[in-house]
Amino acid sequence: MKLVVVSAGLSVPSSTRLLGDRLANATVERASADVQVVELRDLAVEIAHNFTTGFPGPALGAALDAVASADGLIVVTPVFSASYSGLFKSFFDVLDPDALTGKPVLVAATGGSARHSLVLEHALRPLFAYLRAVVVPTGVYAASEDWGAEGLVERIDRAAGELAGLMTGLSAGRAASASGSVSVPTQGGAELVRGGGFEVVPFEQQLAALRPD
Amino acid sequence: MQFGIFSVGDVTPDPTTGRAPSEHERIKAMVAIAQKAEEVGLDVFATGEHHNPPFVPSSPTTMLGWIAARTENLILSTSTTLITTNDPVKIAEDFAMLQHLADGRVDLMMGRGNTGPVYPWFGQDIRQGINLAVENYALLYRLWREDVVDWEGKFRSPLQSFTSTPRPLDGVPPFVWHGSIRSPEIAEQAAYYGDGFFHNNIFWPADHTKRMVELYRSRYAHYGHGTAEQAIVGLGGQVFMRRNSQDAVREFRPYFDNAPVYGHGPSLEDFTEQTPLTVGSPEQVIEKTLGFREYAGDYQRQLFLVDHAGLPLKSVLEQIDMLGEEVVPVLREEFAKRRPAGVPEAPTHAARVATAAAADSRSGSGAGAGAGVDKEGASS
């Protein structure tokens, strides 16, 4: 399995990245997975260019592919103006809107004060609900003071356990369906055909759908 | 292999002088560009279609008719014709008329357009973009092939006993390319009809173009029009050339840096690396263009965008001179050398008339070429 961490931390070293790494380690202790970290600060310029050119540069393209093909995702952002950072949102804006459908996602954030902790529930969770991801029940928020306090380790463990459980369960489900007969995906009853990595509805069916009854 | 130029018809200020041409100047420049293309021996001139500033070409058949009267050999085409918001009946009639006046030197490229408000301006709904392209072309296809059409659809008033006039020249409709950048449905549509597929790759990385062309080729074979290698593919490209590549880069950079389509984004160098844009010597253009076949296969039509980003007419005409004198002759020879037997040439009216006549004599029907072809029956 493949676990991808998307970190929107801006400084080096970054407490956002640190939280992402802690969550990833706790997850792979429970479910064996290869971990890949995507640092958005390295992709900032390509993300901006993607908005104006309509296509990702090479490094951003590789990061988007990694996210789309992950079995599970940990997303971590610093809090900016009571929400996720613009860079964090921009990355998910250039991601294919279907890329996260059904994918388990652990949401996490860092901030200077515990007063922002509900950012997970009022900003991150709706974003990933919109993207049809499966967001684990426990989100992890770490204020500066949490790094020297009790409770953070327990929250990390609980969230990681939930993510590992979903990743394992979903991958078991995929293995079961793969061992059975090959099911052809359908869309509104139409069989899809493949070519060049695309899936399209055969033309007769596109045309037939437009014929008057 | 056909080579030509395609224009978007943008009115863009020249960033080195700040001066924008008037619409009148720009329209006259476009036809001068077409005449230059004929003069230097290019095969195709194609004009875009737009209904909003800063673009001027709202009326392609008017412009192409003017050019037809002043040229002998040039194929007149579009890049694109809006199959979504134009009435397919009017497209059928306009292009059949042009085809007669131009003695068959006409084909066209269907597209959906990229300006959202055009749909409501012409009474259509952008959410139906693909459906409009599917239904309108299905009607256009019949109007050119059946003398009398009864028709009913979702997007247009029904037709009873309708004959589109004039009938296509020699009974053979203009060849159609379906242009799309990102919609696999359009590649599928082109494959279904056995029409051409034009991927306007100018702002896109090669791997995306490769995938779209692969889809079209595999579906073309699926529908029984020939092998995947025989499918009819066209590609775009954009170039700026000087003898010395440093001069080309120096001269083009301010245009690139300020162009509405490129400016203030990735650098000229990054964009050149990631897309078909070539800024350099004629040799570099030859080398890069020959590379297209490595991911798109042996293809039939290459169109270059040369008159954009506010470049003055003089520079554009110099580009076309270089294309005609130095680039295209080499490309013709090199592409021909590499093309395997069995990969067809680009379609022309004369060749299509000959094919239709041969098919008629085999079937012994003697009916007008291409008339009464039942596409649905043929492919089921």
Q: How far is the CA of B149 from the CAs of B45, B96, B371, in angstroms?
A: 32, 16, 12
Q: How far is the CA of B190 from the CAs of A63, A145, B137, B184, in angstroms?
A: 33, 61, 10, 10
Domains of chain A: residue spans and CATH: 2-178 (3.40.50.360)
CATH number at residue B152: 3.20.20.30
Question: Is there a contact between B192 and A203 if contact means CB atoms under 8 Å apart?
Answer: yes
What is the average per-residue pLDDT within A161-184?
71
Q: How far is the alpha carbon of A47 from chain B, nearest alpha carbon, in Å?
A: 11
Q: How far is the alpha carbon of B159 from chain A, nearest alpha carbon, in Å?
A: 14
B106 beta partners: B76
Total of domains in chain B: 1
Nearest chain A residue (CA) to B261: A53
Sign of torsion over alpha carbons B67, B68, B71, B75 = positive
Which of B42-46, B240-244, B371-375 bottoms out in mean pLDDT, i.e. has the lowest? B371-375
What is the value of pTM for the model shown? 0.86
B270 neighbourhood in chain A, CB within 8 Å: 49, 57
What ipTM was predicted for this assembly?
0.79
In B102-228, where does DSSP find H-type helix? 118-121, 129-145, 184-193, 206-222
Residue B360 reports pLDDT greater than 60: yes
Residue B380 reports pLDDT greater than 80: no
> What confidence category does residue A190 fall into, taking pLDDT thresholds of 50, 70 and 90?
low
Residue A81 reports pLDDT greater than 90: yes
On average, the pLDDT of chain A sits at 91
What is the average per-residue pLDDT within A16-32?
97
Phi, psi of B157 (to 5 degrees): -60, 150
Domain extent for B240: 2-379
What secondary structure does DSSP assign to B12-33, as a single string? ---TTT-PPPPHHHHHHHHHHH
Q: Give the span between the Cα atoms of A99 and A132, in whole angstroms.
A: 9
Residue B373 reports pLDDT greater than 50: no
CB proximity A188 to B under 8 Å: no
Using CB atoms, which residue from A55, A206, A209 is nearest to B208? A55
For chain A, percent of residues with pLDDT exceeding 90: 78
